Amino acid sequence: MGSRSAVIVGIGRTAYRRGSGRTTLGMATEACRAALDDAGMPVSEVDGIVCFSTGDSVIPILVGYALGLDGLAYPLEIKGGGNYASIVVAQAVAAVEAGMCETALVYRSLNSLSGHRYGRVDGALVAEGHIQYGAPHGYLVPGQWFAMMARRHMHDYGSTYEDLGHVAIQTRAHAANNPHAILRTPITMDDYLDSRWIYDPFRIYDCALEADGAAAVLVTTAERARDLKQPAVRMLGHAAWLGAGGLPDQWPDMSALYSANVGPRLWDMTGLTPGDMDLACLYDCFTYTTLATLEDYGFCGKGEAGRFFADGRATYGGDVVVNPHGGLLSEAYIHGMNHHFEAVLQLRGQAGERQVKDAALCLVSAGTGPYGGALVYGRD
């Protein structure tokens, strides 16, 4: 135990598809091996694996076993959704820095289209626990709640359908430059407004692109990183807030998200400001999540995010490039782990056509509603 520091040294992923035909184990091992190859590190050095899952994926010790490891010093599976997509990385960094393991893989592997779909009710729904107060009324999928939050934001701040549309349009425009993204055809405001309703105020273009795939990052000590292939990326700070017992409808102010709590703490902890960020990979399970978190993290005032997007401030040449990969809306719904892949790629200057010039600092957020977290990555 000591004051050693941990850094991100590798990233890996599978293809993202609308139907993988693969197991979550197969995709997890592929993404993890890709992260190891990226770093130039042998798998034998891995002694920690961290993931999150809602019970829809393979557990870390099976991934380690499949990769030929006899065991793991630090296996951790966090039960939860995309709200844990930053916490898992922070856990791996903390575990390495504390000496509980030397090298840790972090992955998320899911068949969010062909397997368990968050945007669908599979079979008979048993309305147990708190669900008994929602499901009998037809509150069946998470997006309905976030639609209600967006509606409250519209009421409190005068935001509009078009504001949501600007997020969808800009995010898709970014995806057009990303060969790994599933949806790359640009859309117009007319396309957006003509797209089919799911739950007002959300249309289909407001919703994450359910897909299958896996993404992984590799964490080890800064000392070990010196001998590896890639420039290291450092986590400069992490903050999270899991509020309201995980019950979105009991969050007191629905015009703000968890990020209203996390943002100020993250900036205080890192000594940085939103203006310092070259890019932001904002968790975007819905357009409204991008919009509200952009405001909560302080890139603009409440109610101003739609205009921020419309005025080109969220893209190249603007204030901050938001989701240059196309996010969950257009690249793929890999539950937020794809945001970490993109952040590291950008900070290493390896994003090709969509490279954010001189990218040195990136905010990555995770989650929506009352629960989520965020971290800042910087070039080491």
Catalytic residues: 283, 333
Segment 66 to 125, residues that bind other proteins, using CB under 8 A: 120-121, 124-125
The angle formed by the CA atoms of residues 68, 74 and 75, to the nearest 5 degrees, is: 70
The residue from 135, 228, 269, 310 that contacts other proteins (CB under 8 A) is: 135
Handedness of CA 312, 316, 321, 324 (dihedral sign): positive
Given a contact cutoff of 8 angstroms between Cβ atoms, the answer to whether 314 and 159 are in contact is: no
Q: How far is CA 310 from the centre of its chain?
A: 23
Segment 151 to 170, residues that bind other proteins, using CB under 8 A: 151-152, 155
Handedness of CA 114, 120, 121, 123 (dihedral sign): negative
The residue from 42, 55, 71, 252 that contacts other proteins (CB under 8 A) is: 252
Measured distance CA(343)–CA(74) in Å, rounded: 25
Task: Tell the smallest beta-carbon distance from residue 164 to other proteins (Å).
Answer: 13
Q: Is the Cβ of residue 122 or residue 358 nearer to other proteins in the bound state?
A: 122
Handedness of CA 188, 191, 197, 200 (dihedral sign): positive
Q: Is the Cβ of residue 69 or residue 140 nearer to other proteins in the bound state?
A: 140
The residue from 130, 186, 188, 193 that contacts other proteins (CB under 8 A) is: 130
**Is the preceding omega at residue 75 within 30 degrees of 0, hence cis?**
no
The angle formed by the CA atoms of residues 70, 71 and 74, to the nearest 5 degrees, is: 155
Given a contact cutoff of 8 angstroms between Cβ atoms, the answer to whether 119 and 328 are in contact is: no
Asked if 198 interacts with other proteins (CB under 8 A), we say: yes
Interface segment toward other proteins; rule CB under 8 A; list 24-32, 247-255, 306-314, 357-365:
247-255
134 phi and psi, to 5 degrees?
A: -115, -50
Q: Which residues pair with 238 in a beta bridge?
A: 375
Task: Tell the smallest beta-carbon distance from residue 245 to other proteins (Å).
Answer: 8
The residue from 68, 137, 271, 317 that contacts other proteins (CB under 8 A) is: 137
Q: Is the Cβ of residue 74 or residue 258 nearer to other proteins in the bound state?
A: 258
Which DSSP string do the residues of 7-47 spell out, in sequence order?
Answer: EEEEEEE---BS---S-HHHHHHHHHHHHHHHHT--GGG--
Given a contact cutoff of 8 angstroms between Cβ atoms, the answer to whether 300 and 294 are in contact is: yes
Asked if 6 interacts with other proteins (CB under 8 A), we say: no
Interface segment toward other proteins; rule CB under 8 A; list 80-88, 141-149, 354-362, 367-375:
141-149
- Whole-angstrom CA distances from 242 to 102, 246, 251, 363 are 28, 7, 11, 19
Of 378, 322, 64, nearest to 216 by C-alpha is 64
Asked if 133 interacts with other proteins (CB under 8 A), we say: yes
Q: Is the Cβ of residue 40 or residue 133 nearer to other proteins in the bound state?
A: 133
Asked if 132 interacts with other proteins (CB under 8 A), we say: yes
Q: Is the Cβ of residue 145 or residue 283 nearer to other proteins in the bound state?
A: 145
Q: Is the Cβ of residue 92 or residue 209 nearer to other proteins in the bound state?
A: 209
Segment 178 to 197, residues that bind other proteins, using CB under 8 A: 196-197
Q: Is the Cβ of residue 237 or residue 370 nearer to other proteins in the bound state?
A: 370
The residue from 17, 67, 199, 276 that contacts other proteins (CB under 8 A) is: 199
Task: Tell the smallest beta-carbon distance from residue 120 to other proteins (Å).
Answer: 7
Task: Tell the smallest beta-carbon distance from residue 190 to other proteins (Å).
Answer: 20
For other proteins, the binding residues (CB under 8 A) are 120-121, 124-141, 144-145, 147-149, 151-152, 155, 196-202, 247, 249-250, 252, 254
